[in-house]
């Protein structure tokens, strides 16, 4: 076999992992690999689509969006120094939200490592705290092994990001390429086997429960255990709340779905957590945004925690029984031991609280009859127009919370948002990646005027590749979520939250992106129809009430049952 360079070995290794799409940005230290990539994006060797982003942070977020909607590993290829450090916000975001991506970065030649060479950064040491694995490839012979190991680590167990630091000499060295297949790493146990005694103990508690409640997280989606979840809930007749990241793990219209958990979740779910006698947490990590004040969280309940990651057990909330393992395995085992149950009275007790929220919050937010447009009605209208089958991608802030609340989810992997990091600027590039991960689905990206401008340069990527993302801009001329907190907790001192914005229509026109501005309720339906009927990308700017708040809300430091339905600042 003819000898090949380390750069071409990387191409063959990525091809062996089933990679189809790469999000990247070239530069000096990764140039030899880009030279090899050229041949693998065209002609007889074609294996990849390479999406040239306009900023490396966007490459990482695009890889996240691709991974989240497809379930496959997202791939980013960048240069050394500022190129790869620009990706690290996305790497940290992926770590917090358990998103499998592999970032491959160029590095200076091995002989000058540690000399502060041009665009050198100690990537491995910088990246280790925010990755599952970070490794420097110093020889071309290690490429196949390192790539196979990287993908195995990224996608297995609790998924997450991996960073490979690819020295320039390793990219140019000639080797006899030998494929690698890493499927075992000593001391790394990605799929712990649930203990039978833990399953039995959990089943006994559930069988004796009068007021059980399930807390459903993204782990169900990551483990592809959506059907196993429904079977379990239906047999044991357990009402469920879903975390922000786990919203599409259970269909919105399922009879046991009671709503969203958390600071801006459903009124009934948050209050009933404090009444349940058993809480069954499935693939969720008891984030502070879910629990509120930990000292007063669910003290009356026995806690059963199903999770694949042992480090999450007892980290925030003390459990009565923990079941460590993949929920696709642990849920059927638990289902086999729980009794067929009927908790009708308990489920019915949610209804008065749900009705109260509908009357005081949901109807006013989604079906107003006068005044400026509201975020909730825009999200509700877009969801309805897409038959609740589109993928919701959000940025961060009020746009995120309102669209997540008022979208509906009928299909798996239907929400892509930055949960743990809360990364502004995430939405637009994540939506770009999602269009490649799910090309047969409509991708609807909700953004605020602040978050859009953090990644507005990606209009160039959308223009070049004609990426058909539907962008809904909720423009209130504020950093809205911070403004809400300032009004509530800082005596209305709106310190640097009002924004003077550009003419987004002219910017869209410059990039050849179809655009419409909607400020009147009477025009909303027609504007949404035009957006969805347009072939290719579309930016719909909606002019939103400037001082609208996200309701309901559990204030910081408060218990979840102290949730405020209507905010009066």
Provide the edge-to-edge strand list for the sheet that holds 240-242: 257-260, 240-242, 212-216, 278-282, 302-307, 321-324
SS3 labels along 54-81: CCHHHHHHHHHHHHHHHCCCEEEEECCC
Query: Which residues in the chain come in under a pLDDT of 70?
Result: 1, 569
Q: What are the beta bridge partners of residue 281?
A: 215, 305
Report which of 105, 98, 81 is spatially closest to residue 153, judged by C-alpha positions.
98
Largest CA distance in the chain: 73
Q: Is the pTM of this model over 0.75?
A: yes
Cα distances (Å, whole numbers) of residue 170 to 167, 258, 423, 547: 5, 54, 34, 55
Report which of 429, 404, 409, 408 is spatially closest to residue 481, judged by C-alpha positions.
404
Query: Rounded to whole angstroms, how far apart are CA atoms 327 and 324?
Result: 9
pLDDT tens, position by position, 139-196: 999 999 999 999 999 999 999 999 999 999 999 999 999 999 999 999 999 999 999 9
Helix axes 56-70, 427-437, angle to 10 degrees: 50
Query: Rounded to whole angstroms, how far apart are CA atoms 104 and 147?
Result: 9
pLDDT of amino acid 568: 82
Query: Rounded to whole angstroms, how far apart are CA atoms 297 and 293?
Result: 6
Report which of 554, 541, 274, 246 is spatially closest to residue 415, judged by C-alpha positions.
246
pLDDT of amino acid 487: 96
**CA of residue 120 relative to chain centroid, distance:** 31
Query: Rounded to whole angstroms, how far apart are CA atoms 394 and 253?
Result: 21
Q: What angle do CA 481, 517, 458 make, to 5 degrees?
A: 65
pLDDT of amino acid 1: 65
Query: Rounded to whole angstroms, how far apart are CA atoms 433 and 454?
Result: 17
SS3 443: strand
- In degrees and rounded to multiples of 5, residue 137 shows phi and psi of -90, 115
Q: Which residue has the tokens 């833990």?
A: 198
Report which of 399, 427, 204, 486 is spatially closest to residue 321, judged by C-alpha positions.
204
Give helix then strand counts, H and E, for the chain: 25, 20
Query: Rounded to whole angstroms, how far apart are CA atoms 100 and 98?
Result: 7
SS3 444: strand
Contact criterion met (CB below 8 Å) for 157 and 223: no
Handedness of CA 380, 382, 384, 388 (dihedral sign): negative
Residues whose CB falls within 8 Å of the CB of residue 42, separated by 6 or more in sequence, listed in order: none
Q: Which residues of 292-325 are buried (b: 16+ CB within 10 A; e: fewer)?
A: beeeebbeebbbbbbbbbeebbeeebebebbbbb
Pairing of strands 278-282, 302-307: parallel
pLDDT of amino acid 569: 65
SS3 labels along 169-230: HHHHCEECCCCCCCCCCCCCCCCCCCCHHHHHHHHHHHHCCCCEEEEECCHHHHCCCHHHHH
Report which of 32, 29, 57 is spatially closest to residue 165, judged by C-alpha positions.
29
- In degrees and rounded to multiples of 5, residue 59 shows phi and psi of -60, -40
Own/partner long-range contacts of 329-333 (Cβ < 8 Å, ≥24 apart): 329/191, 329/193, 329/194, 330/194, 330/199, 330/306, 331/225, 331/228, 331/229, 331/231, 331/232, 331/282, 331/306, 332/228, 332/231, 332/232, 333/194, 333/196, 333/199
* DSSP result, 463-506: HHHT---EEEEEE-SB-HHHHHHHHHHSTT--TT-B-----HHH
The DSSP symbol for 283 reads S
**CA of residue 200 relative to chain centroid, distance:** 33
């Amino acid at each position: 076999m003819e000898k090949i360079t380390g750069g071409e070995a990387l191409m063959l290794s990525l091809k062996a992992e089933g990679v189809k799409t790469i999000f990247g940005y070239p530069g000096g230290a990764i140039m030899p690999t880009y030279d090899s990539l050229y041949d693998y994006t065209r002609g007889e060797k074609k294996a990849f689509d390479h999406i040239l982003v306009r900023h490396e942070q966007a490459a990482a977020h695009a890889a996240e969006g691709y991974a989240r909607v497809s379930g496959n590993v997202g791939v980013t290829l960048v240069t050394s120094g500022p190129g790869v450090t620009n990706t690290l916000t996305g790497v940290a975001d992926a770590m917090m939200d358990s998103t499998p991506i592999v970032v491959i970065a160029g590095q200076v030649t091995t002989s000058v490592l540690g000399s502060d060479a041009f665009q050198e950064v100690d990537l491995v040491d910088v990246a280790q705290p925010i990755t599952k694995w970070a490794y420097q490839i110093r020889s071309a012979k290690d490429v196949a092994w390192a790539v196979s190991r990287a993908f195995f680590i990224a996608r297995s167990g609790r998924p997450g990001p991996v960073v490979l630091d690819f020295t320039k000499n390793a990219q140019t060295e000639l080797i006899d390429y030998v494929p690698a297949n890493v499927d075992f790493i000593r001391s790394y146990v990605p799929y712990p086997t649930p203990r039978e005694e833990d399953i039995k103990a959990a089943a006994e508690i559930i069988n004796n429960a009068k007021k059980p409640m399930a807390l459903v997280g993204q782990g169900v989606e990551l483990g592809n255990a959506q059907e196993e979840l429904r079977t379990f809930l239906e047999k044991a007749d357990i009402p469920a709340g879903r975390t922000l990241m786990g919203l599409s793990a259970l269909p919105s219209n399922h009879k046991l779905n009671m709503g969203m958990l958390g600071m801006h979740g459903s009124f009934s779910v948050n209050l009933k957590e404090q009444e349940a006698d058993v809480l069954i947490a499935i693939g969720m990590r008891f984030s502070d945004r879910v629990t509120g004040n930990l000292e007063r969280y669910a003290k009356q309940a026995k806690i059963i925690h199903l999770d694949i990651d042992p480090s999450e057990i007892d980290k925030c909330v003390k459990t009565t029984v923990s079941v460590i393992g993949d929920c696709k395995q642990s849920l059927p085992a638990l289902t086999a031991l729980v009794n067929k149950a009927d908790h009708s009275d308990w489920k019915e007790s949610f209804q008065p609280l749900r009705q109260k929220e509908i009357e005081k919050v949901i109807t006013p937010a989604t079906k107003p009859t006068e005044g400026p447009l509201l975020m909730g009605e825009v999200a509700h209208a877009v969801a309805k127009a897409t038959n609740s089958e589109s993928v919701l991608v959000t940025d961060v802030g009020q746009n995120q919370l309102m669209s997540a609340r008022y979208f509906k989810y009928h299909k798996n992997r239907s929400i892509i948002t930055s949960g743990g990091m809360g990364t502004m600027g995430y939405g637009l590039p994540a939506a770009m990646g999602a269009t490649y991960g799910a090309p047969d689905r409509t991708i609807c990206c909700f953004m605020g005027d602040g978050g859009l401008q953090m990644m507005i340069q990606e209009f160039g990527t959308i223009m070049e590749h004609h990426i058909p993302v539907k962008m809904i801009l909720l423009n209130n001329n504020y950093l809205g979520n911070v403004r809400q907190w300032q009004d509530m907790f800082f005596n209305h001192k709106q310190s640097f939250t009002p924004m003077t914005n550009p003419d987004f229509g002219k910017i869209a026109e410059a990039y050849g992106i179809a655009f419409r501005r909607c400020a009147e309720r009477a025009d909303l339906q027609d504007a949404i129809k035009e957006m969805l009927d347009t072939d290719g990308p579309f930016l719909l700017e909606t002019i939103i009430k400037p001082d609208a708040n996200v309701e309901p809300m559990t204030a910081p430091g408060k218990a979840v049952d102290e949730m405020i339905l209507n905010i009066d600042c």
